[in-house]
Amino acid sequence: MDDNTLGRGVFRFMIFLLALNIVTLILLSTVIDVRSILNTPKGVSILSLGMFIFLLEITIFVIWNSVLTSGWKTALLAFSLNFFIAFTAEALGVNFGIIFGNYYYTALLGPQVFGVPILVALAWEPILYASFYITDILIPSNIEPKDASQKLILLIGLSLVGALATTAWDTMMDPFAVSRGWWVWRDGGPYTPYIENGVPISNFIGWLITAFVCQMVCRIIKDKGAKPRKSVYLSIYGPIGLYGLLFIQLLGVCIVFIQRPEVALIGLMCMGSFLIVALNMAFAGRRDFALAGNPKPGESELPERPLTGGASH
């Protein structure tokens, strides 16, 4: 497939999701009395259903984009390990109060295993995936480690940036979720204390740790796996669209659903900063990064790859 068209279909799907969700948020803020609906049992069910549909949409994008980039085996391995790491961290938090803090999930998010809703563990994947690529856009792609120590430093640095980009999402997600009763912090916390007693700082430390481990694992998988296929659609436009969609969706619900513009402003400063810089770099000549290293005619689409940097998991 021509490099200039590889991934165009999945990118069009992302554009559709962006348009659909923006239109929905506009309707919810101008036509529908959201707060009155949400205060009813039916409204709570509708919101949970909407969350499930949104997660399904973006998960389809992640799987589609990942398979086109890395193939089924690498995509499935990364997806499965991310799920396992996220689920384990959540289970430790719910049952022992470590990693994130002392909290529990309510029944609103569906079936649970060891107190952790399956949907919660799945919900980690889209933001991890988007942050992975955002990091590769932000960090110069021509960095080539000369020895094992430099390789380790680069791996840690990339994973840390990815973890920060991931955790930025939760600055809006957690206040919204606790306001809807999806989970409860038993002891509250100093972050947005006026929303159901607030969120503890340990939550964000837990997010950083968990996301860091996930990002590092995915980079190791990528380095040891087959050489990824790249294009501006797969490596830049699609992932930026996903990160932007996650940002817009939470920005909207913080303003429309819980009417907390200050939480949206925090999200704008945290998550929006990553998005703005990534957009600037993407449209200022970073396309060469996405196009570099594609298989040559006659080569296997996914040949063996040396242990070097890149942008796929």
Q: Which residues sit opposite 226 in a β-bridge? A: 304
The pLDDT score that the predictor gives to residue 311 is: 40
Select from 277, 174, 165 the least CA-distant residue to 212.
165
Q: Is residue 307, in this structure, part of any structural domain at all?
A: no
Question: What pLDDT tens digit does each residue of the chain (313 aa) get?
Answer: 446 688 899 999 999 999 999 998 888 778 777 667 766 777 777 777 888 899 999 999 999 999 999 999 999 999 999 999 999 999 999 999 999 999 999 998 999 999 999 999 999 999 999 999 999 999 866 667 778 888 899 999 999 999 999 999 999 999 999 998 999 999 999 999 999 999 999 999 999 999 999 999 999 998 887 788 888 899 999 999 999 999 999 999 899 888 899 999 999 999 999 999 999 888 775 445 444 544 444 444 444 333 333 444 4
The pLDDT score that the predictor gives to residue 285 is: 57
Residue with tokens 């999930």: 105
Angle at 132 (CA atoms; ends 199, 293), nearest 5 degrees:
175
Whether the Cβ atoms of residue 250 and residue 138 lie closer than 8 Å to each other: no
What is the domain count for the chain?
1
Select from 83, 52, 90, 68 the least CA-distant residue to 206.
90
Q: Is residue 178, in this structure, part of any structural domain at all?
A: yes
Q: Is residue 312, in this structure, part of any structural domain at all?
A: no
Q: Is residue 308, in this structure, part of any structural domain at all?
A: no
Please give the Cα distance from 121 to 20 (Å, whole number): 25
Torsion of CA 288, 278, 276, 253, to 10 degrees: 130
Select from 134, 8, 133, 10 the least CA-distant residue to 60.
10
Q: Is residue 235, in this structure, part of any structural domain at all?
A: yes
- Is 159 exposed, middle or buried (CB count within 10 Å of its CB: 0-12, 13-18, 19+)? buried
Whether the Cβ atoms of residue 153 and residue 144 lie closer than 8 Å to each other: no
Please give the Cα distance from 132 to 141 (Å, whole number): 13
- What number of other Cβ atoms are within 10 A of residue 72's Cβ? 11
Q: Is residue 302, in this structure, part of any structural domain at all?
A: no
Range of the domain at 264: 8-291
Q: Is residue 88, in this structure, part of any structural domain at all?
A: yes
